[in-house]
Each structure stands twice: as structure tokens, then as C-alpha cells.
């Protein structure tokens, strides 16, 4: 496989792409809600302060994840108008902008998911590189999908 395509994020598109995956923020929120809810339920043998501390800790975790995500998006938004070149080969994917280049080997990725109008190349379950579907021609998208399925990287 050797696919090369150019694209530029439209205003707000990178943010929408990042938020279209179920990132860490959505995993932390239910945990925080349950622990905070439990802080109001009396449990025999456990002082309520244990659950209140756990609930506050979970809420702090959620807020930390949320603020971290917002800071990451704000930093990244500065360079979103730059044209990007994406090159996919049998060994790796490379994203290049003027003055920068990032390369990921396929064996480093945890999976690739196609959702919300984006291809999400996951480095970790909570972190992905979103590439708009419109960046690929129909033939390129089919070739990429077949390649990912053969490598067991395609997630649904």
C-alpha cells in the first residue's frame, strides 16, 4: 500500500474530530457520577466520608482530564489551518505539515476506527489522530480499509 493525500482541517473540524471518539473524558464522567452518588448512600461499616472523598477524587480526575483535553485542543487549533500531507505505506503512516513531520509505525497503533466523518488512528485507546474521510478518494478508502482489516487494526 502506498497512499498519499493532502488535506486541511476546516474551521472547527479538528475539534469535532477529536471529540467524535469516546475519549477518556467519557470514561471518567460515569465513574465520578457513581462515586459522588454513593457518597449520599449510608453503607453499614463505612463512614460517609470515605465515599465523599472518593467522589471528590473522581470529580477531580474528570476535571483534570477535561482541562487537559481543552488545553490540547487549544494548542493544536493554532496550526489547524496548515495544509497536511498524509502518507500511508505498508510500514507506517506519516503526517507532514510545513516544518513538522510525525511518523507512526502500524505496530504502535492500537487500532483504527471510522466514525463521525473521520478515520481515527489510535495511538492509545484515549488518543487518536483524526483524519477527515474527505481526504481519501473512494479507491483509497477501500484500499486502506482492506489493509487495516488484514492487519486486524480495523475497529468498529
Q: What is the pLDDT of residues 26-54, one digit of tens each?
A: 555 666 666 666 666 666 666 667 767 77
Exposed e or buried b for every residue in 55-93, given b needs 16+ CB within 10 A?
beebbebbeebeeebeeeeeeeeeebeeebebebeeeeb
CA angle 88, 121, 22 (to 5 degrees): 165
- Tell me how far CA of residue 91 lies from CA of 82, 106, 132, in angstroms: 25, 6, 21
pLDDT, tens digit, 9 for 90 and up, residues 111-133: 999 888 899 898 887 778 889 99
pLDDT of residue 3: 95
* pLDDT value of position 45: 67
Q: Is the pLDDT of residue 21 over 70?
A: no
- Indicate the range of 7-16, 37-46, 84-93, 136-145 predicted with least confidence: 37-46
The alpha-helical segments, DSSP class H, found in the chain are 13-19, 24-38, 48-77, 138-150
The whole-chain average pLDDT of the chain stands at 80
Q: Which of the following CATH numbers is that of domain 2-12+81-155: 2.30.29.30, 3.40.50.720, 1.10.1060.10, 3.40.630.30?
A: 2.30.29.30
Q: In what order do the strands lie in the sheet with 84-89?
A: 2-7, 84-89, 92-97, 100-105
Is pLDDT at 25 greater than 60 in this prediction?
A: no
What is d(CA 88, CA 144) in angstroms, rounded to the nearest whole number? 8
Cell numbers linked to 1? 500500500
Per-residue pLDDT at 24: 47
Amino acid at each position: 500500500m502506498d497512499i498519499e493525500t493532502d488535506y486541511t482541517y476546516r474551521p472547527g473540524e479538528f475539534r469535532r474530530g477529536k471529540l467524535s471518539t469516546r475519549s477518556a473524558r467519557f470514561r471518567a464522567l460515569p465513574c465520578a457520577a457513581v462515586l459522588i452518588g454513593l457518597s449520599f448512600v449510608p453503607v453499614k461499616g463505612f463512614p460517609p466520608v470515605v465515599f465523599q472523598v472518593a467522589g471528590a477524587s473522581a470529580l477531580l480526575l474528570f476535571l483534570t482530564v477535561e482541562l487537559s483535553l481543552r488545553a490540547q485542543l487549544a494548542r493544536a487549533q493554532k496550526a489547524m489551518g496548515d495544509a497536511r500531507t498524509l502518507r500511508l505505506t505498508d510500514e507506517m503512516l506519516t503526517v507532514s505539515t510545513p516544518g513538522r513531520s510525525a511518523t507512526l509505525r502500524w505496530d504502535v497503533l492500537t487500532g483504527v476506527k471510522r466514525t463521525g466523518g473521520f478515520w481515527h488512528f489510535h495511538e492509545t485507546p484515549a488518543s487518536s489522530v483524526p483524519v477527515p474521510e474527505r481526504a481519501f478518494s473512494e479507491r483509497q478508502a477501500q484500499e486502506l480499509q482492506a489493509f487495516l482489516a488484514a492487519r486486524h487494526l480495523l475497529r468498529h
